[in-house]
Structure 1
Amino acid sequence: MHNKTLSISGQTDDELLILLQKGNERAFTAIYERYHKLLYVLAYKYLKDNDTAKDAVQQIFLKLWESRSLFSIHINLRNYLYTMLKNHLLNEIRNNYTALEKNYELAQETIEYENEILSKLEEKEMTEQLYRAIDGLPEQKKAVCLYKLKDSLSNQEIAEKMQISIPTVKTHYSQAIKLLREHFDKLLILLLSSLFS
């Protein structure tokens, strides 16, 4: 068996392809051992992620095995694998870009989810967590948040009530957000930011 393995691994690409077409698993393994590292380097160059690159290479060899009876034995195996991988990478990049576009569009439409977020704020546990966090802020930052959240005052009304400028109100809020960030999920931070924008 060991000698057969050596014999298989020493064969040319064309010879391995002939065996692969017949469903020879040792020929498939030999092709994998010969090219998977080269394909990984190419995949990583584009994807910049170890696990995603490894998965891409696995997908290519899976397709190679599944389509073994369909391709010509006269193909250049190395070029064939590279072409398969590049097409796979283009699809991955295109799909990821589409996902990013959708996420961006969702972020731009945050206003449509305001009621859902407000509902979340009304939950007892979240409300208590919010006010506990605000209570730990420095006095002026605490006051700005409470005037806005409890009394629904505008920036101008808060500025007049505290006898400070509107830019100062916004500065206090911006600094408060940084201090509160660890207490809230992303949706809550997004809501609070929109209230003071």
Structure 2
Amino acid sequence: MDDVALTIQLKQGNQLAFTILYNTYSNQAYRLAFKYLCNKELAEDAVQNLFMKIWTKRDYLDERRPLNHFLFTVLKNDILNILRDSKNNIFVLDDCLELLERIDDDQVDDEIDREQLDMIRRAIDRLSPQRRKIFSLKISGQYSNQEIADKLHLSVNTVKFQYSQSLKQIKELIRQCAISLLL
């Protein structure tokens, strides 16, 4: 079924057409959402919201416009909203950091993981040298705050503060990078 026929069928409330639409685009939509959100649950929610919006707003579909453009515009806007929502940013950052901790270059098979890892590395590279060192030691999981402080001749409070600021800076840089890639 081509896009025009599919759109017409959707507008008429045909559930089979909706199933075809979902089967055709859901995997691609999920991969795109996960690429920018780095979070399985948020990506799944974004895709679910996408298809709910398509079904509830099906009367507004225009059969003269490519259906995939409409789908991915709606998805892009949802992803941007999720990235702009501060309560979700911590989940995105946590999952991106988890990805960074568990993946080294030899294990990166998936193009999405590689792009996410590159985005995280670019954000880490923009940290000051001291913050980058504290951050690297901390996420390695091998050092306590006290051990990092001793190693770098800093106070424990400085280590805690610099790590906290590093997380904020990385979160913001990842958010900006993801948003700029979507726009």
Q: TM-score, normalised by structure 1?
A: 0.44
Larger RCO of the pair (alpha carbons < 8 Å, separation 6+): 2
Tell me which structure has the larger Cα radius of gyration: 1
Q: TM-score, normalised by structure 2?
A: 0.47
